[in-house]
Structure 1
Amino acid sequence: MRVIDLFAGCGGMSLGFENAGFDIIAAFDNWDAAIKIYESNFSHPIYKKDLSKDDIIQQLSDMRPDVIMGGPPCQDYSIAGKRELGNRANLTIRFGEIVIAVKPMWVVFENVYNIERFSTVTTLKQMLVDAGYGITTRVLDASRCGVPQKRHRFFLIGKLGEKNGFLDETLVSNLSCKQMTVRDYLGDALNTEFYYMHPRSYHRRAVFSVDEPAATIRGINRPIPDNYKRHHADKADICDGVRALTTRERGYIQTFPDTFDFPGAKTDVELAIGNAVPPALAKYVANCIKQYCTE
């Protein structure tokens, strides 16, 4: 199937669907740093567009996609943000408007797990149902989808002419019964038993074991503070050889392969990695769609 990736970022969704055998024909984003990374890793074009302003409907229609997928910027929904609905939330509605105008057979929407608290996603669902799409919604735990990370993400998957909930059974039945750990995925490649991941606040732990799924990879990667005080839930003491992860290691935990290039300034690359959909999670969803199509 021919796929267009909107709000593509550095390409996590594109890579996952490509690895599942889908034909990614084009991508769109508005952040130069992410576009630079994307261009370094894919042969199909990525277009710089502000999807809140630029009219791309004719361009997309001419491409005749079978699937339009995307994850609009999520800061207004994120537990790390202010939980206020602003311009970024409006991009969710814009995504729906684009899909309805182009009318691909399939639509895949991805976002933070708590987006369902907000009215915007309810509006998106109704827009798609009114346009003839049956929809399935599910929060997926990435660690049960081939990703060594406790990352929960919301997916809305729609297909023209289907009934609501059509993909529920497929999405659930393929989940692993066991969460994937960092060691499961990387073996001993990190050369450490414990590592530091900077927490959102010091009420949370920061030292993790490779024998558990990683915490959610975020868009910042800070060194261990000189005055760090051990959290009661830390898996080890900082003095026990604990170190922060490198940029490339954070990419591994997001399931980007070693062959995936990350050109650009370190802060931009870290943010792009943290914002990305793990390719293995995207591949899981893509394979569920393939399975449904062949049943």
Structure 2
Amino acid sequence: MAYKFTSLFAGGGGMDLGFIEAGFQPIAAFDNDPVAVSSYKQNIGPHIRQIDLRGDSEALADSVSRADVLVAGPPCQGFSTVGLNDPNDARNQLLLRTVEIACQHRPRVVVIENVRGLLGIGFRKYLNRLQSALEEAGYAVTTATLNASEHSVAQHRRRVFIVASRVGVVSLDLRRQPPVTLRGALHGLDKTHTASAHVFPNGGREFAIATAIGPGQKLTNVRAGRGCVHTWAIPAVFGRTNAIERRVLEGLLVARRTQRVRSNGDADPVSAARLTRELGFPTAAILAALVNKGFVRRVGAGYDLTHSFNGKYRRLVWDEPAPTVDTRFGQPRYFLHPDEHRGFSVRETARIQGFPDDYVFPSSGQHAFRLIGNAVPPPLARAVAQQVLVTLNTYDAQ
């Protein structure tokens, strides 16, 4: 007989699909998002219910108490460095709500997935409270950061898994699998699966930016190196600069990060006097000209670069895994196809996440990318589920 599991914050079903593929039987799933619930029903089964997990529910209590395993992917936006990264985000409490449910109904194993930001200093209190509560309830707790690219997923996606067990320690020292490249993941997809991708119109501003970005490169003014294209390298879009102005821009790029004033943030504004000392020639008039041209902005008494995002228009590379698939993956201003001036289609994105081609997503691209980007890649979930299965089988065989 298959071991049973119940799923909290099930989303579109990525974690659940991985556990099913490992041989587990789902008995219940819960989520508060009607779009996710509808998609889950279409792909996995009707046993999911739409409820707010902050409240009490008799149906929740019954299904968790009957399950061998409780799996959960509580909202990560508050913990995420890409998201709000807010220790006071109300959604952070849902992680502890998961632990409350587990300790009250005591399934044999609890599996929780979240972003790496959970390990940051600002969020350590949540992790400590989680671990203490589970250990007091008799669970042995294992925590590990796993990279999906090492488990048959064509993307670098590092996530924290917390596994608590009352039937022996579950090892998260998983055997690494050969990497899957973007080319391998997308092999065989025909035009019917890519036609829905967002394409930049020929001759437009964003088309001109895309033509300047090569594989493995991104548009950013605050990083340097072969993989970085600066706005001053695309004069047709951002305007022309001369050689001395580019020297000042590149000097500012370095100086803003090497001599810090604040204890937080990525970089600090730079004074004209300091930049003059660094470069060895007067810079005040040049900085003023660059402000007028839109490459530099005044910040208090100092100067900083405009377009100070870490990277947009990131063009992927065929023979490497993709970067982390997030909810913006279909927008080419964030992620560009390796060869074409377009974003990725829903089906391409689903493949990169490890979903099978018969998995159906909402017709609305916005909803589809949100469900895919928030999902646990099924092959990674399967690898964790297989370790849980080994522990359960070993314990029951004694």
TM-score (norm 2): 0.64
* Farther off after superposition, 88-97 or 188-197: 188-197
Q: 1:79 pairs with 78, 81, 100, which one?
A: 81
In 2, Cα distance between equivalents of 1:205 and 1:142: 23
Q: Does 1:113 align with 2:116?
A: yes
Q: Is it true that 1:52 corresponds to 2:54 in the alignment?
A: yes
Letter in 2 for 1:100: C
Does the Cα contact within 8 Å between 1:77 and 1:89 map onto a contact in 2? Answer: yes
Choose the corresponding residue for 2:92, options 69, 78, 89: 89
Q: CA deviation at 1:265?
A: 2.2
Deviation at 1:183, TM superposition (A): 2.4
Distance 1:264 1:121, change over 3 A: farther
- CA offset at residue 196 of structure 1? 10
Identity of aligned residues (%): 34
Once residues 364 and 219 of structure 2 are traced to their aligned partners in structure 1, the CA distance between those partners, rounded to angstroms, is: 20
Distance (Å, rounded) in 2 between the aligned partners of 1:92 and 1:32: 20
State the Cα deviation string for residues 57-112 of structure 1 (Å, max 9, x = none).
53335x61000110110100001123212211100110000001110001000000
**Whole-angstrom CA distance in 2 between matches of 1:202 and 1:138:** 27
- Aligned twin of 1:179: 179
Q: Who is 1:249 aligned against? A: 348
SS at match of 2:75: coil
**18, 22, 28: which is aligned to 1:20?**
22
Partner of 1:282: 381
Q: Aligned residue for 1:212?
A: 320
Q: Pick closer, same or farther for the CA change 1:144–1:77 going to 2, 3 Å.
A: same
Deviation per CA, 1:148-172, whole angstroms, max 9, x where unpaired? 100001000111153xxx333xx32
| 1:270 paired residue among 364, 369, 394 | 369
Partner SS state of residue 104, structure 1: coil
Compute the displacement of 1:45 (Å): 1.0
Task: Provide, for residues 199-247 of structure 1, a one-character-per-residue CA deviation record: whole Å limited to 9, x for no partner.
Answer: 994535600112101011111245445xx9xx9xx996xxx53431101
Is residue 148 of structure 2 the alignment partner of residue 142 of structure 1? yes
The letter of the residue matching 1:278 is P
Separation of aligned partners in 2, 1:48 and 1:266? 22
In 2, distance between residues paired with 1:241 and 1:173?
A: 36
Give the number of the structure whose residues are more often helix, by fraction: 2
CA contact (8 A) 2:350 2:372 kept: yes
The whole-number CA distance in structure 1 between the counterparts of 2:104 and 2:345 is 43
Aligned to 1:129: 135
C-alpha separation in 2, matches of 1:145 and 1:36 = 28
- Matches of 1:3 and 1:154 in 2, distance apart? 20
In 1, are the aligned partners of 2:108 and 2:165 still within 8 Å (CA)?
yes
User: Taking structure 1 as reference, are residues 161 and 7 closer, same or farther at Cα in structure 2, changes over 3 Å only?
Assistant: same
The residue aligned with 1:65 is: 67
Q: Which runs of 5+ in 1 are unaligned?
A: none
Q: How much does 1:173 deviate?
A: 4.4
CA distance in 2, matches of 1:213, 1:268: 24
Q: Secondary structure at the match of 1:25?
A: strand
